[in-house]
C-alpha cells in the first residue's frame, strides 16, 4: 500500500442551504479532481452531478467511464493502476462529459508493517470484533484485542502464538492465518478475506517481508476526511463516501475500503459496509461516521422535506431572542415551520412544571388568564424563578445524577449530599462554582456533601466516567477497556483523565458501611498515588481529553489543574454540556441527545444554537437561572405541542413542543395538590412533599409506578420517562388516590367543593382550573355538569368522578 506525496485538490466546503459546489455552472465534477496512484494501488473516486435545483447527485454508479492505458477500472467507482505513466479517465453522463487526469507513479519501496497495514485489514475483516477473536477468551485459542486496543499482544498472538503455526514465512500464502481467513481450511467465521484480495495480499506480503511490527519512521495518522463532508440530499438518493487518511508527514491515503461505517440515524440514512449511503424516506439530519485505526470522520446528511418553503413563510415568525433566530435557520434548511404559539394556560402550566415541578394553583391560573398585560409571560417567568419551590425541584433533578446507593455510602452520607444539593440550588450557586466544589471535594462525608461523591465512586476510573459524563457530556466509559468504537477516545485518554484522581487520599471506614456506618475523610495533594496504563503498564500523567498535559506542581492536587481546564473559557465541552442539560429540561430533549453523549456520531441538531447558549451562559457567569430565563422567554419554548402540516415528523428539531409525562415526584405531588390531600412520607417531616424525598427508600407507590430512579442501580442515568402499564393502573385504581377523593378532611378538594354552595357548573370550572390551569369549554362543562344528580351523596360522587376523570386524562398526565 502506498501513500501520496501530495494532496490532490478536492472540491469541499459545501455549505448548508446554498447551491452546493460554489456557484459554478451545473455539470459533472470528479473527486479527487485528479487521480494519482502508484502501480498496483486501487483508489476510489466520486462523480457528482450538480443539478440546477441546488442539489448535488452522486452519479458514480450511473456514468459511463472509459479508462485507457495506465490504469483499469475495478468495480464501480475505483481504478487500479497498471503501469507508470499518465492517462485520462473519460466520464459520460448522457452527453455531459468530463475528463479526469490519471497519473501513475512507480510502486513504492515500502515494507508493510503490522501497525500500519495489517491491523486495518484485521479490523475491517471483523477479526478483532468482540463477537469474533476479541471475545474475552478469544475464539478457538486465537485471541485478539477488541478494536486492537493492545496491538503488541495481537502481534504476539499472530507471530508467536500457537507456537508460531499461524504464520509460515517461507511460503506466506500457505500461512494458517491466510488459509483460515480465506476459508481455504474450515473457519467458523467463514471467508473473511478472499484469496488474492487486497487485504489478503497485505497479510501475505507482510508475512513474506519479515513481519515488521512498525516502520522506523511510521508517520502518525492525524485525521480522517470524509467526502462529501456535508450535503443536502433528496429522499431515496444514494451517495458513496470517500475516506482519506491524513498523516503527519503530509501524505494522504485512500482508506475507504478499510474503513468501518456507522449511521447515527438509520431512519434518515443507512450505510453499507463499503461506505455506500442510502438516503431513506424521512426528512431530517443524520451523520455517517467513518472510522479507521482509532480516528473518526463524519459526513453530514441533510434531507429537507420535498416541498421547499418560501422565505416569506419565515418572515412573519415571532423572534423573541437569539434562540428563535438560530432555530428558524435550521427549520428552513429542513423545510419545517414552527407550530403556533401555545395558549396562556398551557404556558403557565408548562413553565410552572418545568421551573418548580408543581402545577399552578387555581387562583394563580385565574389571575394569569385575566391579566391583560402583554408582558405577563415574561413576568411570570421572573416570578417562577424566584419561587421557593425552585430549589427542591432542581436539586431533585440533579440528585438523579449524584445520589449514591445508601448501601454503599451509608444513609447519612446520602442525606448530607442531598442537603448540600438543595442548599446549592436554594442560593442559585453558579454552575462553575458547583462543579469546582464537587471536583475538588475534600473533607468528612458526615459533614460535607460533595465528599460523599468520592465515597461512592472510589476508584479513579469510576470518577473519570462520572465526571466526564456529567460535566463534559462525554462518555469515556468504553475507552476504559478499549478504544471507543465510534469516537476518537482511546485508553490513553481515559487513564490520563483518571490520573487526576490517583493521588486522592482517604481515611476512615471504607466501603460496606452498615446502614448508619462510620464516616470517611478525603483529601487531595501531598503527592503519591500513581496510575498505570492497564495494558502497557506505562505511568499515566494527568491530561484531560483533547486538552494539554496538566502542569502539576510538587505537592499540588492535580484536580486543581483539571478544574482550571474545565473552567477555561476555551474549554470545548464544559459550557455546552450544562447548557444542553438545562435545555433538555425545558424541551424534553437535548440539542445533543442523550445529553451526556457528545460525539461526532451524535451531532447537535442545532450546533449554532448550542454554541450561542454556551456563550450566553459564560457571559452570564454560569448563572443557570439567567439561562433558564432566556430559554423560557424564547418563542421556541412557547410553541404549541400540536404539530402543523410540516412538522408532524419532527422529533429532534424543536419546531413544536414535545409532550412529556410528569416525573415521579411531580406526579405524586400533583395528585396531592389537586385532591387537596397531602401524602405522608416516612423519613420526611410533616408536610413533606415527594420532591423532598432524599432516598428511594422512602416508600411511595406512586413514585415507584412513575419511575423514580432507584439509586441502587449503578449509573448516573437520565430517568426513564416512558409511559408504562403500571402508571395507568395506578392512576385508575390506586387505593391511595381513591382515599384522597373520598377524604372528608377540611382541605380536601372534593369535600370543599361538594360541601359548599357552588353550582355544578362552578364546581366544574374550579376543577378544570385546579387540574389544567384553564377554564372548561362549554362542551366540557355540559358533560361534567350532567354527572351531578339529586342529593348530597350524588353530588359528592359526581365531584369525585369528574376529578378522577380529569386526573386520568392525558391533559393532566402530560406536560404539553
Partner 1 sequence: MATHRNCDGHLRRDFIQLGLRGAMGMGLGMCDLLRLKAAAENAGGGKPVNCIMIWLDGGPSHFETFDPKPDAPADIRGVFKTVPTKVAGVHFSEPVTKLAGVFDKFTVVRSICHKDPNHGGGNHYMMTGAPTPVPVGCGAFVTFHPSMGSMVSHTRGVRGGIPPYMATPSNTRSGGPNFLGGEHAPFVVSGYPNSDAFRVSDVVLPGGIAEGRMQGRRALRGALDRMKRFNDRVTEDPAVEFDRFYEQGFDLVTSARAQEAFDIGKEDVKVRERYGRTDMGQRFLLARRLVEVGVSWVTVNWGGWDHHGGLADAYKGDMLKTLDQGVAALIEDLAERGMLETTLVLLLGEFGRTPKINPGGGRDHWPHAMSVLMAGAGIPGGQIVGATDARGYYAAEDVYRPEDFAASVYTKMGIDPHQKLETAVGRPVSLVNDGRLIRELFV
Given 174, 423, 714, 793, the residue binding partner 1 (CB under 8 A)? 714
Sign of the CA dihedral with 529 first, then 533, 536, and 538 last: negative
Residue 53 makes CB contacts below 8 A (sequence gap 6+) with none
CB of 437 to partner 1, least distance (A): 25
Give yes or no for residue 137 binding partner 1 (CB under 8 A): yes
Supply the minimum distance, in Å, between the C-beta of residue 730 and partner 1.
5
Residues 642-661 that bind partner 1 (CB under 8 A): 642-643, 648-649, 651, 658-661
The strand pairing partners of 96, in sequence order, are 93
Residues 402-421 that bind partner 1 (CB under 8 A): 405, 407-408
- Minimum distance, C-beta of residue 430 to partner 1, in the bound complex (Å): 28
Q: Does 816 bind partner 1 (CB under 8 A)?
A: yes
- Alpha carbon distance 280, 452 (integer Å): 49
205 binds partner 1 (CB under 8 A): no
Please, what is the minimum distance in Å from the beta carbon of residue 234 to partner 1? 19
Q: Which is nearer to partner 1, 140 or 361 (CB)?
A: 140
Comparing CB distances to partner 1, the nearer of 239 and 601 is 601
Binding residue count for partner 1, defined by CB under 8 A: 80
C-alpha cell at 420: 448540600
Give phi and psi for 660, each to the nearest 5.
Answer: -135, 140
Residue 744 touching partner 1 (CB under 8 A)? no
Could you give the angle at which helices 431-439 and 558-567 cross, rounded to 10 degrees? 160
Supply the minimum distance, in Å, between the C-beta of residue 480 and partner 1.
10
Minimum distance, C-beta of residue 484 to partner 1, in the bound complex (Å): 10
Which pairs from 660-663 meet CB under 8 Å and 24+ separation?
660/588, 660/721, 660/814, 660/815, 660/816, 661/706, 661/721, 661/723, 661/727, 661/813, 661/814, 661/815, 662/353, 662/706, 662/813, 662/814, 662/815, 663/357, 663/706, 663/707, 663/708, 663/719, 663/721
| Alpha carbon 496 to chain centroid, angstroms | 23
Residue 281 touching partner 1 (CB under 8 A): no
User: CB neighbours of 309 closer than 8 A, spacing ≥ 6?
Assistant: 332, 335, 337, 646
Choices 24-32, 424-432, 567-575, 729-737 (CB under 8 A): range interacting with partner 1: 729-737
Say whether residue 802 binds partner 1 (CB under 8 A).
yes
- The correct pick among 157, 727, 749, 751 for binding partner 1 (CB under 8 A) is 727
What is the rounded CA–CA span in Å between residue 371 and residue 388?
23
Q: What's the CA gap between 598 and 603, in Å, rounded?
A: 7
Residues whose CB falls within 8 Å of the CB of residue 465, separated by 6 or more in sequence, listed in order:
475, 476, 477, 480
Among 729, 744, 789, 793, binds partner 1 (CB under 8 A): 729
Among 709, 769, 770, 773, binds partner 1 (CB under 8 A): 709
Is there binding between residue 701 and partner 1 (CB under 8 A)? yes
Pairing of strands 64-67, 46-50: unpaired
- Least distance in angstroms from the C-beta of 733 to partner 1: 5
Residues in 514-533 that interact with partner 1 by CB under 8 A: 514-515
Part of the chain binding partner 1 (CB under 8 A), chosen from 28-36, 81-89, 114-122, 804-812: 804-812
Rounded least distance, CB 668 to partner 1, Å: 15
Looking at residue 116, the DSSP 8-state letter turns out to be I
Among 64, 68, 107, 511, binds partner 1 (CB under 8 A): 511
Binding residues among 441-480 for partner 1 as defined by CB under 8 A: 458-459, 462, 469, 475, 477-478
Radius of gyration of the chain from its Cα atoms, rounded to whole angstroms: 32
- Residue range at the interface with partner 1 (CB under 8 A); choices 23-31, 73-81, 412-420, 778-786: 778-786
Q: Between residues 543 and 601, which has the closer beta carbon with respect to partner 1?
A: 601
N-terminal to C-terminal alpha carbon distance within the chain: 58
CA angle 751, 755, 758 (to 5 degrees): 115
Choose which of 5, 83, 536, 726 interacts with partner 1 (CB under 8 A).
726
Q: Interaction with partner 1 in 542-601: which residues (CB under 8 A)?
A: 597
Based on the shown chain and the rule CB under 8 A, indicate whether residue 713 belongs to the binding site for partner 1. Answer: yes
Provide CB contacts within 8 A for 700, sequence distance 6+: 664, 668, 679, 681, 690, 693, 708
> What's the min distance (Å) between Cβ of 745 and partner 1?
17
Amino acid at each position: 500500500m502506498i501513500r501520496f506525496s501530495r494532496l490532490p485538490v478536492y472540491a469541499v466546503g459545501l455549505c448548508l442551504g446554498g447551491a452546493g459546489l460554489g456557484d459554478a455552472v451545473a455539470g459533472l465534477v470528479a473527486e479527487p479532481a485528479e487521480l494519482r496512484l502508484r502501480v498496483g494501488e486501487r483508489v476510489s473516486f466520486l462523480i457528482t452531478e450538480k443539478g440546477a435545483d441546488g442539489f448535488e447527485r452522486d452519479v458514480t454508479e450511473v456514468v459511463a467511464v472509459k479508462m485507457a492505458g495506465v490504469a483499469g477500472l475495478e468495480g464501480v467507482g475505483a481504478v487500479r493502476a497498471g503501469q507508470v505513466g499518465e492517462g485520462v479517465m473519460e466520464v459520460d453522463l448522457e452527453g455531459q462529459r468530463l475528463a479526469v487526469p490519471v497519473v501513475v507513479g512507480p510502486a513504492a519501496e515500502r515494507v508493510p508493517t503490522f501497525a500500519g497495514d495489517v491491523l486495518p485489514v484485521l479490523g475491517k475483516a471483523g477479526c478483532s470484533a468482540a463477537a469474533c477473536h476479541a471475545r474475552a477468551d478469544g475464539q478457538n485459542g486465537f485471541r485478539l484485542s477488541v478494536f486492537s486496543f493492545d496491538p503488541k499482544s495481537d502481534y504476539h498472538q499472530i507471530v508467536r502464538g500457537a507456537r508460531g503455526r499461524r504464520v509460515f514465512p517461507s511460503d506466506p500464502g500457505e500461512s494458517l492465518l491466510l488459509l483460515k481467513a480465506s476459508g481455504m481450511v474450515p473457519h467458523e467465521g467463514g471467508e473473511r478475506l478472499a484469496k488474492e484480495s487486497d487485504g489478503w495480499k497485505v497479510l501475505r506480503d507482510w508475512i513474506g517481508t519479515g513481519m515488521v511490527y512498525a516502520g522506523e519512521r511510521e508517520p502518525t495518522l492525524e485525521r480522517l476526511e470524509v467526502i462529501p463532508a456535508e450535503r443536502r440530499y433528496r429522499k431515496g438518493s444514494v451517495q458513496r463516501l470517500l475516506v482519506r487518511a491524513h498523516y503527519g508527514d503530509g501524505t494522504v491515503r485512500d482508506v475507504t475500503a478499510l474503513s468501518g461505517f456507522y449511521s447515527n440515524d438509520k431512519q434518515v440514512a443507512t450505510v453499507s459496509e463499503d461506505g455506500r449511503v442510502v438516503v431513506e424516506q424521512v426528512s431530517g439530519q443524520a451523520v455517517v461516521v467513518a472510522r479507521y485505526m482509532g480516528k473518526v470522520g463524519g459526513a453530514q446528511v441533510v434531507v429537507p422535506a420535498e416541498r421547499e418553503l418560501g422565505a416569506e413563510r419565515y418572515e412573519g415568525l415571532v423572534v423573541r431572542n437569539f434562540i428563535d433566530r438560530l432555530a428558524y435557520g435550521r427549520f428552513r434548511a429542513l423545510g419545517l415551520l414552527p407550530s403556533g404559539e401555545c395558549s396562556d394556560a398551557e404556558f403557565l402550566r408548562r413553565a410552572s412544571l418545568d421551573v418548580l415541578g408543581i402545577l399552578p394553583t387555581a387562583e394563580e391560573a385565574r389571575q394569569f388568564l385575566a391579566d391583560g398585560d402583554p408582558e405577563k409571560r415574561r413576568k411570570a417567568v421572573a416570578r417562577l424563578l424566584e419561587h421557593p419551590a425552585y430549589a427542591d425541584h432542581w436539586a431533585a433533578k440533579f440528585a438523579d445524577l449524584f445520589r449514591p446507593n445508601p448501601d454503599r455510602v451509608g444513609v447519612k452520607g446520602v442525606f448530607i449530599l442531598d442537603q448540600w444539593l438543595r442548599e446549592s440550588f436554594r442560593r442559585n450557586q453558579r454552575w462553575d462554582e458547583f462543579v469546582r466544589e464537587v471536583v475538588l471535594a475534600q473533607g468528612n462525608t458526615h459533614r460535607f456533601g460533595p465528599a460523599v461523591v468520592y465515597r461512592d465512586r472510589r476508584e479513579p476510573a469510576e470518577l473519570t466516567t462520572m465526571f466526564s459524563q456529567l460535566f463534559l457530556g462525554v462518555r469515556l466509559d468504553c475507552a476504559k477497556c478499549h478504544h471507543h468504537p465510534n469516537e476518537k477516545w482511546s485508553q490513553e485518554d481515559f487513564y490520563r483523565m483518571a490520573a487526576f484522581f490517583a493521588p486522592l487520599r482517604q481515611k476512615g471506614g471504607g466501603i460496606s458501611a452498615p446502614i448508619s456506618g462510620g464516616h470517611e475523610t478525603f483529601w487531595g495533594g501531598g503527592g503519591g498515588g500513581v496510575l498505570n496504563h492497564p495494558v502497557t503498564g506505562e505511568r499515566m500523567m494527568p491530561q484531560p481529553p483533547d486538552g494539554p498535559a496538566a502542569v502539576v506542581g510538587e505537592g499540588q492536587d492535580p484536580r486543581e489543574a483539571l478544574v482550571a481546564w474545565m473552567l477555561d473559557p476555551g474549554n470545548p465541552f464544559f459550557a455546552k454540556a450544562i447548557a444542553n442539560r438545562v435545555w433538555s429540561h425545558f424541551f424534553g430533549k437535548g440539542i445533543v441527545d442523550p445529553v451526556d453523549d457528545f460525539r461526532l456520531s451524535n451531532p447537535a441538531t442545532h450546533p449554532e444554537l448550542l454554541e450561542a447558549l454556551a456563550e450566553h451562559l459564560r457571559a452570564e457567569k454560569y448563572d443557570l437561572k439567567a439561562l433558564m430565563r432566556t430559554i423560557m422567554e424564547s418563542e421556541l419554548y412557547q410553541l404549541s405541542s400540536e404539530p402543523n402540516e410540516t412538522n408532524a415528523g419532527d422529533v429532534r428539531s424543536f419546531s413544536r413542543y414535545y409532550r412529556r409525562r410528569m416525573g415521579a415526584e411531580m406526579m405524586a405531588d400533583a395528585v396531592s395538590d389537586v385532591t387537596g390531600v397531602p401524602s405522608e412520607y416516612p423519613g420526611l417531616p410533616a408536610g413533606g412533599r415527594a420532591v423532598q424525598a432524599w432516598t428511594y427508600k422512602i416508600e411511595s407507590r406512586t413514585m415507584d409506578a412513575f419511575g423514580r430512579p432507584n439509586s441502587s442501580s449503578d449509573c448516573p442515568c437520565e430517568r426513564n420517562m416512558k409511559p408504562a402499564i403500571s402508571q395507568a393502573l395506578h392512576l385508575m385504581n390506586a387505593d391511595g388516590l381513591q382515599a384522597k377523593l373520598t377524604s372528608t378532611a377540611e382541605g380536601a378538594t372534593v369535600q370543599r367543593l361538594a360541601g359548599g354552595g357552588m353550582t355544578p357548573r362552578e364546581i366544574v370550572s374550579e376543577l378544570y382550573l385546579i387540574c389544567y390551569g384553564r377554564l372548561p369549554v362549554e362542551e366540557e362543562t355540559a358533560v361534567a355538569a350532567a354527572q351531578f344528580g339529586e342529593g348530597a351523596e350524588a353530588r359528592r360522587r359526581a365531584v369525585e368522578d369528574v376529578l378522577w376523570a380529569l386526573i386520568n386524562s392525558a391533559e393532566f398526565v402530560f406536560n404539553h
